[in-house]
Amino acid sequence: MALRWNLEQILLFVQVAELRSFSAVARQQGRAQSAVSSAIALLEEDLGVTLFNRSSGRQPQLTEAGRALLEEGRELLRQCERLDSRALALNRGQEAQLRVAQDEAMPYQPVLDSLEDLAGTYPALEVQLASGAQGDVARKLVERRADLGLLFHHEHMPAALERRALGSVEMVTVCAVNHPLAATPRVSRQELARHRQLLIALETSQYAGGDPISPQVWRADSFYAMAELLMRGLGWAWLPRHVVQYPAYQQQMVELASEWVPPALVVELVWRRDEPLGPAARHLAECFTRHLRAIG
């Protein structure tokens, strides 16, 4: 059966549902409110369902059918962005520049090895590499200040971004050599709870293992900042193994045998859905995946 509704109607449906206002969507689109309302009414007629309850107050409320179809509409719009992105990629040659943003705690050896591979394959490519604490990478991509991101998986990923898992890094339980826990052969959960715990900040992340064991917690937005606090005996922490093995921290930390550690951190490649990955970006991703698995 031929489709009668169109993508513009789906877009307006999603926007009204998110903004909960016909007038706000009309202002955003530079159209009359009546035109937005008419488009939604035609969509409801074509679909055979009522999407909004307009009699429940000033703000349009999604009906049960509207709630059921909202995510379908969002996914349809995402697929359209992917189609446009893929078409753009087919018309685009090799990138002249590649801006890479990475979490500062990303394993540095796979990153350096991958960039070396990239330089050999694309010698004329200009590369800009930026590092930052958690949250910075996604922000740079959303603000179009980066083309490609390497970060650790967390739940609150902006909707404009696509992501793909590349591998993982191991987490370990550690404390400073002069910490009271350092002399304990195997620490229990109860023993850990008696000492201050250092954790990644919750404001910008939902990393695995973000829930504290200890009632006394200090938080930082960087694994390296946590390591610096840890070396001063200010608490114990779960850190990526490669951070613990950083040369400056050698002989300064003790890995604790513990009954529980958080799952491995998943490393993800992230990019804007409406900006296709060029050949150099795809090559870098493939190299990084290979080198990350090699250290795992």
What domains appear along the chain, each with residue ranges and CATH number? Answer: 7-90 (1.10.10.10), 97-166+266-295 (3.40.190.10), 171-263 (3.40.190.290)
Digits of tens for pLDDT over the chain (296 positions)? 456 888 899 999 999 999 988 889 999 888 998 898 899 999 999 898 999 988 756 788 899 999 999 999 998 988 888 787 667 655 656 788 899 999 988 988 899 999 999 999 888 888 999 998 767 898 999 999 999 999 888 777 888 898 889 888 999 999 999 999 999 889 999 999 999 999 987 554 455 456 788 999 999 888 899 999 999 999 999 999 999 988 889 889 999 998 777 788 899 999 998 888 889 999 999 999 999 888 76
Beta bridge partners of 199: 219
| Phi and psi angles of residue 143, each rounded to the nearest 5 degrees, phi first | -85, 10
Q: Positive or negative CA dihedral for 91, 126, 157, 24?
A: negative
* Residue 128 structure tokens: 């800009």
Q: Are the beta carbons of 236 and 198 closer than 8 angstroms?
A: yes
* Residue 112 structure tokens: 């350096």
